[in-house]
Amino acid sequence: MIWNETMECMSREDMRKLQGIRLRNTVDRIYHNCEPYRKRMQEHGVAPDDIRSIDDIVKLPFTSKKDLRDYYPFGLLSSPLSEIVRVHASSGTTGKPIVAGYTRNDLGIWGEAGARCFTAFGLGKQDVVQVSYGYGLFTGGLGAHGAVENIGGTVIPMSSGNTEKQIMLMHDLGAVGLACTPSYALYLADALHDSHIPREEFQLKVGAFGAEPWTEAMRKELEAKLGIKAYDLYGLTEIIGPGVGHECQCQNGTHLCEDHFYPEIVHPETGQPVAPGETGELVFSTITKDGMPLLRFRTRDLTYLNYEKCACGRTSVRMGRILGRCDDMLIIRGVNVFPSQVEAVICEMPELEPHYFIVVDRVNNLDTFEVQVEVKEDFYSDEVSKLLDLRKRIVHRLQSVTGLSPDVKLVEPRSIERSQGKAKRVNDKRKFQ
């Protein structure tokens, strides 16, 4: 099923025309209503009249997370505060959070985008969906909640935590959909197993997972453990929240709602557009929002775009899995390593649980790279020689994928801390030295 066929299946030519018109209106709105943006554009030597089509977007200056911090909390609004009906915030690594303001119209756009996502996951009016993203300043809970209500489904507004109750209600209320982070889904999968309630008594069929990077291997793991189809749900507070993009039944790329959020890929260092299909930093311009429209917002997320029509019938551009954030990239002994590379290796080995933790440190001026990984119950009690052999194979695989030879520590099942929201899988001790 497709929620909005007109928009999701539009020809490329018509889409670009529409995006051009919407961008022009947005630039006009921002220029006349947001002082810091006007100044930035003037410094950059660009005026609203210079934007005639979507191709002109490259003339506009970038917006960064730093800008949102500098103008905290409301400096980048293009609507008066009296029009803002909701705020959300994302916690940054340091200091003040980033605050986003939404008008009623913006909430409508969010609801529309969310409805496209949950429809593409195969959910509808008849379905009960358990929303186990956190409710509150985080956009996950309320975002998924609005989306499910919009498609006429029945929401269980669980929020995260209280795992036993999660399982009880999932079972008793017949949840067909589960919306949470992939790491919390793993946690719930273990809890479901521990409950000793037979799987057949659950109705669960669909996972709407996002808010953190997850690999293809993790998808397989979650689908097998929970007996569901697991779909990617993408978004970020600054742009709207969950609903910026979603997978479809083909599970072959994340469709972006590009009639609302225009994507570009640029080189993370130079800011120059990369060649089509190449990986780089994802940049979004919101082209329909009123409250806090953003131009060329640097997400720090690394991915690529694919403009080919999808087998599902949608023509909307698809992005590849988020490889990680530029900020998450670890540079260990000069080599770039993403936690997602470690995850892919761990999930492919049947002896291991998909739980891992990376510790990076610097000892005597040399970087150390430790990977802790949980061994499955059946293997953990195995002979020492088998464990040593397993350890050797993991080191070997990680070496061929990352180019580095980590110190692998096999740990007991369930000893790595579980997450109920976004997982923390790295401790880079060098940052505090």
Is residue 64 close enough to count as binding ligand DLL by CB under 6 A? no
Rank residues 150 and 237 by Cβ distance to ligand DLL and give the closer one: 237
Of 101, 114, 134, 140, the one binding ligand DLL (CB under 6 A) is 140
Of 123, 236, 319, 394, the one binding ligand DLL (CB under 6 A) is 236
Is residue 90 close enough to count as binding ligand DLL by CB under 6 A? yes
Least Å distance between CB 297 and ligand DLL?
Answer: 10
User: Cα separation of 52 and 24, whole Å?
Assistant: 7
Rank residues 236 and 266 by Cβ distance to ligand DLL and give the closer one: 236
Of 132, 288, 299, 420, the one binding ligand DLL (CB under 6 A) is 299
Rank residues 138 and 357 by Cβ distance to ligand DLL and give the closer one: 138
Is residue 290 close enough to count as binding ligand DLL by CB under 6 A? no
Of 133, 338, 357, 369, the one binding ligand DLL (CB under 6 A) is 133
DSSP 417: P
User: Which is nearest to 207 in space by CA: 232, 241, 234, 235?
Assistant: 232
Of 26, 119, 139, 420, the one binding ligand DLL (CB under 6 A) is 139
Residue corresponding to tokens 């935590």 = 161
Is residue 265 close enough to count as binding ligand DLL by CB under 6 A? no
List C-alpha distances in Å: 294 to 102, 191, 205, 233: 12, 41, 36, 21
Q: Write down the H helix ranges in 163-226.
A: 163-172, 182-194, 216-226
Cα angle value 184/185/189 (rounded, 5°): 115
Of 114, 177, 242, 263, the one binding ligand DLL (CB under 6 A) is 242
User: Cα separation of 163 and 177, whole Å?
Assistant: 16
Residue 69, C-beta contacts closer than 8 angstroms, at least 6 positions apart: 92, 95, 96, 98
Is residue 234 close enough to count as binding ligand DLL by CB under 6 A? yes
User: Cα separation of 201 and 174, whole Å?
Assistant: 9
> Torsion angle, CA of 301/307/308/312, rounded to 10 degrees?
70
Is residue 252 close enough to count as binding ligand DLL by CB under 6 A? no
Helix (DSSP H) and strand (DSSP E) numbers for the chain: 12, 21
User: Which is nearest to 297 in space by CA: 86, 25, 26?
Assistant: 26
Of 171, 325, 391, 397, the one binding ligand DLL (CB under 6 A) is 325
Of 67, 112, 259, 301, the one binding ligand DLL (CB under 6 A) is 301
Residue corresponding to tokens 């291991």 = 352
Least Å distance between CB 384 and ligand DLL?
Answer: 38
DSSP 318-343: EEPPP-EEGGG-EEETTEEE-HHHHH
Binding segment toward ligand DLL, per CB under 6 A, in 131-139, 188-196, 347-355, 358-366? 131-139
Rank residues 37 and 338 by Cβ distance to ligand DLL and give the closer one: 338
User: Cα separation of 179 and 164, whole Å?
Assistant: 16
Rank residues 316 and 394 by Cβ distance to ligand DLL and give the closer one: 316
Rank residues 210 and 339 by Cβ distance to ligand DLL and give the closer one: 210
Is residue 65 close enough to count as binding ligand DLL by CB under 6 A? no
Task: Tell me the number of residues near ligand DLL by CB under 6 A.
Answer: 22
Q: Which of residues 166-225 bind ligand DLL (CB under 6 A)?
A: 210-213
Say which amino acid occupies 257.
C
User: Which is nearest to 5 in space by CA: 244, 248, 230?
Assistant: 248
DSSP 432: G
Binding site for ligand DLL (CB under 6 A): 90, 133, 138-140, 143, 210-213, 232-237, 241-242, 299, 301, 322, 325
